[in-house]
Structure 1
């Protein structure tokens, strides 16, 4: 296992961090997963107040059952943004009680996704007042934020100078947040990548076409190497449902060197294949088509279409597409069939794409079955 400094926190994190959202089937499973993770060299455990009983389960294990002392393990929990300082004070106290800890190494403002959330952290008597008090009395050591929001919101939040680390989406198949990676690094922030195997393309079950294009590597390996070869990135989330799911990701825990010529060649080949297959229908993700009057996240819809056609990643596309209209500010935007063919986006597209036609095609490819609504 390799370790990297988590930005200005000056904590040294394992390059893989244990995310606990998926291992909550039972206290026994949490215990086994945590113990195996620590034995394999992971020293950073991430949870959230919204992850079911995760904090409660961790609290039963951290101080008494792990094979290392509390001082050798770094704990991050995440709490939502709020305009109410008293509410944040109570939330911090409750997280500490559930975790049975005197202090939290890192507190993340969880899901700072909208401009309204941005306003919450800027308000004089908002949630940051309570966070600053907790840092002053030692109950919180370091503060950061996670975001599933727009690049613009992420950049603005980084530029406040309030935070020491950021958790965000950034993968080989989604590089929109590269400017945030660059800026956070320049600001000396720790950079935590959210769910690279799952949100990064469901790469633990890649389609045969993508597997073939990535030979002699696996798609998962290439994505991990894309991230781990970047020294600005501190740590990657691995979120096993059972202990055994730690094994494959941690095969790459020492692979932090620069990309090899062979790996670069495969990445170039993937791009050339995508361009050849999509031809004049490729969306280059410039985002100039936004805003859409119907609130369709056109670039994200067309990114999923790109992946489905170029790499046969239709199942991943359906998985993500189902979240539109179902996940609130965690995955905003309407489905592509909401397009009224108003033409508002057409003159703004530098590639002159027939966007309404591509949106219709995307919906037909990706609509799948409706899933459970995640957000009320």
Structure 2
């Protein structure tokens, strides 16, 4: 296991962190998974108040003997922003009690996803007052934020200089947030990547086409290598739900060197296949088509189409497409079938795409019903 300095926090974190969102079965399974992660060299556990019984299970692990290793472990928990300080103060106390901890190494404001959330941070009597009090009382050591926001919002939150780290989406198959990674790097912030194997393409269940393009490596390995070869990235979430789920990442966590010649050749081949497979229907993700009068998230809808057509990532597309209209600010926008052919987006598209046609095609390819976030 490699370790990296988590920006100005000075915490030396393992390049994989144990994300605990998927503890669905039992306390016994959760505790055994946590202990397996520690055995493998992972020293950072990431949870959230909103992840079901996750904080409670982390507390069970500490009561089961993990407290003996507390001085060499780091814990992050996340709480959504609140409009007042009292609510945040109580929630911080609740999280500490559930996790059986005296302090939180890294506390994230969870889901700074909108301009309204950013305004909440500026309220002198709001949640940040309670967070700062907790820092002064040494209940919290470092303060970061997690985000599913549009890039412009992420950049604005980073520019506030309120935070020492950021937890965001950035993957080989979705590089939209690269400017945020760069800005965080310039400000010496810790950079934590959310769910690279799941939100990064559901690459633990790759299509045969994608497996062939990645050969002799696996899609999981190559995505891990894409991220860990970048020194601006510090740690990746590994959301193991069972002790045996770590094995697919072991080859990558001991290899954070620059990409090899073969790895670069494979990425170049994948990019050529992507361009050639989409031809004149490729959405370049410029976002010029927004805003849409029907609130369709046109670039994200068409990104899912891009991946389904070019790399046969249909199951991932279905999984994410089902979220549109059902996940609020965590995954904003409506499905493609809401298009009314108003044509508002057409003159703004530099590729001159027939966007209404592509939206309908995406819906036909990917719609299988409605979905929701795991803990909604």
Q: TM-score normalised to the size of structure 1?
A: 0.98
- The change in CA–CA distance for 1:212 and 1:374 in structure 2 (over 3 A counts) is closer
- The change in CA–CA distance for 1:375 and 1:4 in structure 2 (over 3 A counts) is closer
Q: Relative to structure 2, which stretch is displaced further, 174-183 or 213-222?
A: 213-222
1:177-204 CA deviation, whole Å, 9 max, x = no partner?
A: 0000000000010000000001101111
- The change in CA–CA distance for 1:278 and 1:317 in structure 2 (over 3 A counts) is same
Cα offset for 1:251? 2.6
1:289 aligned residue: 289
Alpha-carbon contact 2:18-2:237 (below 8 Å) kept: yes
Query: SS of the residue aligned with 2:364?
Result: helix
Cα offset for 1:66? 2.6
1:49 aligned residue: 49
Structure 2: where are the runs of 5+ without partners? Answer: none
Alpha-carbon contact 1:39-1:67 (below 8 Å) kept: no
1:109-146 CA deviation, whole Å, 9 max, x = no partner?
A: 00111111111111111111110100011000000000
Cα offset for 1:35? 0.6
Cα offset for 1:64? 4.2
Alpha-carbon contact 1:18-1:37 (below 8 Å) kept: yes
Alpha-carbon contact 2:55-2:98 (below 8 Å) kept: yes
Confirm or deny that 1:126 pairs with 2:122: no
1:192-240 CA deviation, whole Å, 9 max, x = no partner?
A: 0000001101111100001111111111111000000001101000001
Coordinate RMSD, CA, aligned: 1.3
Alpha-carbon contact 1:4-1:14 (below 8 Å) kept: yes
Query: SS of the residue aligned with 1:119?
Result: helix
Query: SS of the residue aligned with 2:174?
Result: coil
Cα offset for 1:296? 0.5
CA distance in structure 2 between the partners assigned to 1:102 and 1:222 by the alignment: 39
1:202 aligned residue: 202
CA distance in structure 2 between the partners assigned to 1:283 and 1:253 by the alignment: 33
Cα offset for 1:370? 2.7
Confirm or deny that 1:28 pairs with 2:19: no
Alpha-carbon contact 1:326-1:374 (below 8 Å) kept: no
Cα offset for 1:375? 8.7
Q: How does 1:72-83 map to 2 (within 5 A)?
A: 72-83=72-83
2:268 aligned residue: 268
1:242 aligned residue: 242
- The change in CA–CA distance for 1:291 and 1:211 in structure 2 (over 3 A counts) is same
2:149 aligned residue: 149
CA distance in structure 2 between the partners assigned to 1:111 and 1:2 by the alignment: 28
Alpha-carbon contact 2:327-2:372 (below 8 Å) kept: no
CA distance in structure 1 between the partners assigned to 2:15 and 2:250 by the alignment: 9
Q: How does 1:1-376 map to 2 (within 5 A)?
A: 1-66=1-66, 69-371=69-371
Query: SS of the residue aligned with 1:98?
Result: helix
Structure 1: where are the runs of 5+ without partners? Answer: none
Cα offset for 1:336? 0.4
Alpha-carbon contact 1:38-1:66 (below 8 Å) kept: no
How many residue pairs get aligned? The number is: 376
Alpha-carbon contact 1:289-1:345 (below 8 Å) kept: yes
CA distance in structure 2 between the partners assigned to 1:190 and 1:63 by the alignment: 29
Cα offset for 1:371? 3.3
Q: Relative to structure 2, which stretch is displaced further, 78-87 or 301-310?
A: 78-87
